[in-house]
Amino acid sequence: MSHESKQIDGDVSIGRNTAIGGDAIIQGKTHLKGNVRVDGWFEAKNIKGVSKGLYPTIEALKAAIPSPIVGDWAIVGDTIPGPIFRCETKGIWSATGETGGGGSIDLTGYLTAEEIDDVTSIL
């Protein structure tokens, strides 16, 4: 079974819903206004996520991300918090001398484990 194809040269505007049943290739800049939902896997070659994750060694980081861009950062070590490496010069990972990657929550004023002697008292 063959399907007729049409080429449209020029601008196209669609004012209602659109369903595309096959693969779509969009070339050029794309501006999406509104929410975007992806039901399948999202794969992007050049996504701008500056946090690159946790790597056991600097060699492993360099192997995984050999060409970092300025602003990229990662934690190197076996635990978090760990040593922070950042790209300040395109293509070069540098140790910052600081540790990070962990978080904390201020629980001042909340019930502590030592104050609980009967779980029914916290209801």
pLDDT digits (tens, 9 = 90+) for 22-38: 888 888 888 888 898 88
Q: Within a domain: residue 88?
A: yes
Helix (H) or strand (E) holding 87: strand 82-89
Q: Which residues contact 114 (CB under 8 A, 6 or more apart)?
A: none
Given this model, what pLDDT does residue 44 score? 78
Averaged over 78-97, what is the pLDDT?
A: 95
Distance CA 109, CA 41 (A): 43
- CB 74, CB 56: distance < 8 Å: no
Please indicate, yes or no, whether the overall pTM of this predicted structure exceeds 0.85.
no
Greatest mean pLDDT among 37-41, 44-48, 63-67: 63-67
Q: Within a domain: residue 106?
A: no
Q: By percentage, how much of the chain surpasses pLDDT 70?
A: 93
Q: Domain of 86?
A: 51-100
Q: Which residues contact 93 (CB under 8 A, 6 or more apart)?
A: 58, 61, 62, 65, 68, 74, 85, 86, 87
Q: How many domains does the chain have?
A: 1
